[in-house]
Protein backbone atom coordinates (compact mmCIF):
# COMPACT_ATOMS: atom_id res chain seq x y z
CA UNK A 1 0.00 0.00 0.00
CA UNK A 2 1.45 3.44 -0.93
CA UNK A 3 2.47 5.84 1.79
CA UNK A 4 -0.50 8.24 2.05
CA UNK A 5 1.75 11.12 3.14
CA UNK A 6 3.69 10.82 -0.11
CA UNK A 7 0.45 10.69 -2.13
CA UNK A 8 -0.87 13.84 -0.42
CA UNK A 9 2.47 15.60 -0.84
CA UNK A 10 2.53 14.81 -4.57
CA UNK A 11 -1.10 15.84 -5.04
CA UNK A 12 -0.49 19.08 -3.14
CA UNK A 13 2.58 19.88 -5.22
CA UNK A 14 0.69 19.22 -8.44
CA UNK A 15 -2.17 21.46 -7.29
CA UNK A 16 0.15 24.33 -6.40
CA UNK A 17 2.05 23.95 -9.68
CA UNK A 18 -1.20 23.89 -11.66
CA UNK A 19 -2.53 26.93 -9.81
CA UNK A 20 0.53 29.01 -10.61
CA UNK A 21 0.25 28.25 -14.32
CA UNK A 22 -3.51 28.68 -14.60
CA UNK A 23 -4.15 31.92 -12.73
CA UNK A 24 -5.14 33.72 -15.91
CA UNK A 25 -7.91 31.22 -16.63
CA UNK A 26 -9.22 30.98 -13.08
CA UNK A 27 -11.23 33.43 -11.08
CA UNK A 28 -9.88 35.61 -8.35
CA UNK A 29 -11.08 37.32 -5.24
CA UNK A 30 -11.45 41.07 -5.52
CA UNK A 31 -11.47 42.23 -1.92
CA UNK A 32 -11.17 46.00 -2.09
CA UNK A 33 -13.20 47.65 0.62
CA UNK A 34 -12.06 51.18 -0.25
CA UNK A 35 -12.78 51.48 -3.99
CA UNK A 36 -15.49 50.18 -6.24
CA UNK A 37 -14.22 48.69 -9.50
CA UNK A 38 -15.51 51.80 -11.34
CA UNK A 39 -13.56 54.15 -9.09
CA UNK A 40 -10.45 51.98 -9.30
CA UNK A 41 -10.63 51.90 -13.12
CA UNK A 42 -11.15 55.67 -13.26
CA UNK A 43 -8.06 56.13 -11.07
CA UNK A 44 -6.04 53.76 -13.26
CA UNK A 45 -7.02 55.68 -16.40
CA UNK A 46 -6.24 59.01 -14.74
CA UNK A 47 -2.82 57.68 -13.76
CA UNK A 48 -2.02 56.54 -17.31
CA UNK A 49 -3.60 59.21 -19.52
CA UNK A 50 -0.97 61.82 -18.69
CA UNK A 51 -2.13 64.40 -21.23
CA UNK A 52 -5.86 63.82 -20.63
CA UNK A 53 -6.70 63.43 -24.32
CA UNK A 54 -8.88 60.32 -23.87
CA UNK A 55 -6.33 58.07 -25.59
CA UNK A 56 -3.79 55.87 -23.85
CA UNK A 57 -0.64 56.04 -25.93
CA UNK A 58 1.79 53.18 -25.52
CA UNK A 59 4.40 55.60 -24.18
CA UNK A 60 1.98 56.74 -21.45
CA UNK A 61 1.14 53.18 -20.42
CA UNK A 62 4.76 52.02 -20.41
CA UNK A 63 5.84 55.17 -18.56
CA UNK A 64 3.21 54.61 -15.87
CA UNK A 65 4.19 50.99 -15.38
CA UNK A 66 7.93 51.63 -15.35
CA UNK A 67 7.61 54.62 -13.01
CA UNK A 68 5.18 53.06 -10.57
CA UNK A 69 5.96 49.34 -10.67
CA UNK A 70 9.58 48.71 -11.73
CA UNK A 71 11.19 49.36 -8.35
CA UNK A 72 14.61 47.96 -9.31
CA UNK A 73 14.68 49.83 -12.67
CA UNK A 74 15.61 46.80 -14.76
CA UNK A 75 12.81 47.26 -17.36
CA UNK A 76 11.04 44.14 -16.08
CA UNK A 77 8.23 44.16 -13.55
CA UNK A 78 8.14 41.08 -11.37
CA UNK A 79 4.99 39.75 -9.77
CA UNK A 80 6.20 40.94 -6.36
CA UNK A 81 6.88 44.48 -7.63
CA UNK A 82 3.50 44.66 -9.35
CA UNK A 83 1.43 43.20 -6.51
CA UNK A 84 2.87 45.47 -3.83
CA UNK A 85 2.41 48.64 -5.85
CA UNK A 86 -1.05 47.66 -7.13
CA UNK A 87 -2.32 47.04 -3.61
CA UNK A 88 -0.82 50.28 -2.31
CA UNK A 89 -2.26 52.37 -5.14
CA UNK A 90 -5.65 50.80 -5.88
CA UNK A 91 -6.40 49.00 -2.59
CA UNK A 92 -7.39 45.72 -4.21
CA UNK A 93 -6.72 42.44 -2.46
CA UNK A 94 -3.57 40.43 -3.04
CA UNK A 95 -5.45 37.67 -4.88
CA UNK A 96 -6.81 40.17 -7.37
CA UNK A 97 -3.42 41.83 -7.90
CA UNK A 98 -1.81 38.42 -8.57
CA UNK A 99 -4.66 37.51 -10.94
CA UNK A 100 -4.22 40.82 -12.76
CA UNK A 101 -0.45 40.38 -13.05
CA UNK A 102 -0.91 37.00 -14.70
CA UNK A 103 -3.61 38.41 -16.96
CA UNK A 104 -1.21 41.16 -18.07
CA UNK A 105 1.70 38.70 -18.51
CA UNK A 106 0.79 37.76 -22.07
CA UNK A 107 3.82 35.56 -22.76
CA UNK A 108 3.71 33.81 -19.35
CA UNK A 109 7.35 34.57 -18.54
CA UNK A 110 6.49 35.79 -15.01
CA UNK A 111 7.51 39.39 -15.72
CA UNK A 112 5.91 42.36 -17.41
CA UNK A 113 7.88 43.92 -20.25
CA UNK A 114 7.14 46.01 -23.31
CA UNK A 115 6.26 42.77 -25.17
CA UNK A 116 3.39 42.20 -22.74
CA UNK A 117 2.14 45.76 -23.21
CA UNK A 118 2.07 45.26 -26.99
CA UNK A 119 0.03 42.09 -26.49
CA UNK A 120 -2.33 43.91 -24.17
CA UNK A 121 -2.77 46.74 -26.65
CA UNK A 122 -3.80 44.28 -29.35
CA UNK A 123 -6.28 42.65 -26.96
CA UNK A 124 -7.79 45.90 -25.68
CA UNK A 125 -8.06 47.77 -29.01
CA UNK A 126 -11.57 46.52 -29.77
CA UNK A 127 -12.16 48.71 -32.84
CA UNK A 128 -8.75 47.93 -34.37
CA UNK A 129 -7.72 51.54 -34.95
CA UNK A 130 -4.32 51.04 -33.33
CA UNK A 131 -5.18 53.35 -30.43
CA UNK A 132 -6.40 52.64 -26.94
CA UNK A 133 -9.23 54.88 -25.94
CA UNK A 134 -10.06 55.42 -22.29
CA UNK A 135 -13.41 53.74 -23.04
CA UNK A 136 -11.75 50.60 -24.47
CA UNK A 137 -9.46 50.35 -21.47
CA UNK A 138 -12.35 50.92 -19.06
CA UNK A 139 -14.35 48.12 -20.69
CA UNK A 140 -11.33 45.80 -20.56
CA UNK A 141 -10.60 46.48 -16.88
CA UNK A 142 -14.24 46.32 -15.76
CA UNK A 143 -14.53 42.93 -17.48
CA UNK A 144 -11.56 41.74 -15.42
CA UNK A 145 -13.15 43.03 -12.23
CA UNK A 146 -16.52 41.49 -13.15
CA UNK A 147 -14.93 38.10 -13.84
CA UNK A 148 -13.60 38.09 -10.33
CA UNK A 149 -15.37 36.22 -7.55
CA UNK A 150 -16.36 38.76 -4.87
CA UNK A 151 -14.53 38.30 -1.59
CA UNK A 152 -16.48 36.94 1.33
Cα 107–chain centre separation: 13
- For the chain, the average pLDDT equals 78
At 111, which helix (H) or strand (E)?
Answer: strand 111-112
Report pLDDT digits (tens) over 94-104: 988 999 999 99
pLDDT at 66: 81
CA pair distance 141, 84, nearest whole angstrom: 19
Check: CB of residue 133 under 8 Å from CB of residue 55: yes
- Tell me: pLDDT of 14 over 60: no
Indicate if the pLDDT at residue 6 is higher than 70.
no
Supply the pLDDT for residue 11. Answer: 37
pLDDT tens digit sequence for 125-134: 999 988 889 9
For residue 90, give Cα distances in angstroms to 9, 75, 144: 36, 22, 14
What's the pTM value of the predicted model, to 2 decimals? 0.73
CB 113 within 8 A of CB 75: yes
Q: Residue 30's pLDDT is what?
A: 57
Burial of 9 (0-12, 13-18, 19+ CB in 10 A): exposed
Q: How confident is the model at residue 34 (pLDDT cuts 50, 70, 90)?
A: low
Amino acid sequence: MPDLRLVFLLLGSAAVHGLAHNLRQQGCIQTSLNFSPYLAVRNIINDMDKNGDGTLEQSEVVSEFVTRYDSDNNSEITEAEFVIQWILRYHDGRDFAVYLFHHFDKNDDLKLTSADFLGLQAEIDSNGDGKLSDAEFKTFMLDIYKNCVPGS
